[in-house]
């Protein structure tokens, strides 16, 4: 392997302190401290995705991306907010959540009173105002404002259901479907009718096959009773 020179100041190689980056990518201007970092970077150019998820058809260039993705299936939330009890699957989700506590929103939309933590967010948000939908589904005529909405929509075509209930064999294509389903097991009824104070598991209108479970859905209750 690569010969390293032990640093007398700490437990790492001296390049950490000197800033030396002798390994150059032949396809771009990037330089790296270590040979294995260069090898890891080169995957960007080859588009190779050797890290396959065992629970769905997703594949990733880097192992850390696969590890991060697998939390969708396991439900693991290792990124804990130090100001409240909320925890998140992704580090970026935690960063976005912390806005609630700090109130810091430096980037404002020029057309409404919305404000955002990061510069790209108001640019993407403005698509709502101008009606731009640049994210096209290759299998149908649907178009979407954001890529994540397109990714969610594609599951209609692929049949992918990455959100698995741990208490039964049900699986869902969308996260909100799993969250709503879990209330069947927990008995939670967070939606209350303001007119008669009845409690319900779900706010949305039910699909046709669930019409018999009338007390689950607040919207159906409002139509029938009030």
What pLDDT does 165 receive?
92
Task: Tell which residue, 155, 164, 149, has the closest CA to residue 54.
Answer: 164
User: Can you tell me the distance from the alpha carbon of 155 to that of 163, in angstroms, rounded to the nearest whole number?
Assistant: 12
Class of domain 1-48 (CATH, top level): alpha beta
Q: Which CATH superfamily is domain 51-154 in?
A: Classic Zinc Finger (3.30.160.60)
Domains 1-48 and 51-154 share a fold: yes
**Per-residue pLDDT at 226:** 59
The predicted structure's pLDDT at residue 205: 42
- How far apart, in whole angstroms, are the C-alpha atoms of residue 147 and residue 50? 23
Dihedral sign, Cα of residue 73, residue 78, residue 83, residue 85 = positive
Beta-bridge mates of residue 143 = 136
pLDDT at 17: 64
pLDDT digit string (tens) for 114-129?
777 666 677 777 777 8
User: Which residue matches tokens 């607040």?
Assistant: 218
pLDDT at 10 over 60: no
Nearest 5°: the CA angle 9, 10, 15 is 85
Higher pLDDT, 170 or 148: 170
**pLDDT for position 200:** 64
Q: What is the pLDDT of residues 17-52, one digit of tens each?
A: 677 888 888 888 888 888 888 887 877 777 778 888
Domain spans of the chain? 1-48, 51-154, 189-226
Q: Note whether 203 and 191 are within 8 A (CB).
A: yes
């Amino acid at each position: 392997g690569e010969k390293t020179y032990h640093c007398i100041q700490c437990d790492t190689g001296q390049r950490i302190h000197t800033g030396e980056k002798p390994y150059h990518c032949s396809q771009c201007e990037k330089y790296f401290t270590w040979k294995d970092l260069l090898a890891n970077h080169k995957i960007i150019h080859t588009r190779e995705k050797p890290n396959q998820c065992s629970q769905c058809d997703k594949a990733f260039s880097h192992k850390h991306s696969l590890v991060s993705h697998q939390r969708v299936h396991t439900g693991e939330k290792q990124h804990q907010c130090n100001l409240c009890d909320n925890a998140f699957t992704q580090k970026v989700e935690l960063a976005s959540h912390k806005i609630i506590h700090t109130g810091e929103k430096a980037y404002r939309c020029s057309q409404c009173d919305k404000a955002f933590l990061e510069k790209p967010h108001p640019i993407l948000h403005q698509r709502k105002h101008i009606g731009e939908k640049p994210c096209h589904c290759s299998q149908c005529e649907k178009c979407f404002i954001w890529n994540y909405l397109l990714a969610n929509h594609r599951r209609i075509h692929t049949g992918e259901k990455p959100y698995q209930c741990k208490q039964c064999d049900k699986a869902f294509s969308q996260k909100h479907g799993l969250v709503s389903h879990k209330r069947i097991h927990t008995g939670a009824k967070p939606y209350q009718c303001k007119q008669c104070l009845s409690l319900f598991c779900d706010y949305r209108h039910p699909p046709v096959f669930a019409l018999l479970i009338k007390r689950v859905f607040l919207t159906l209750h409002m139509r029938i009773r009030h």
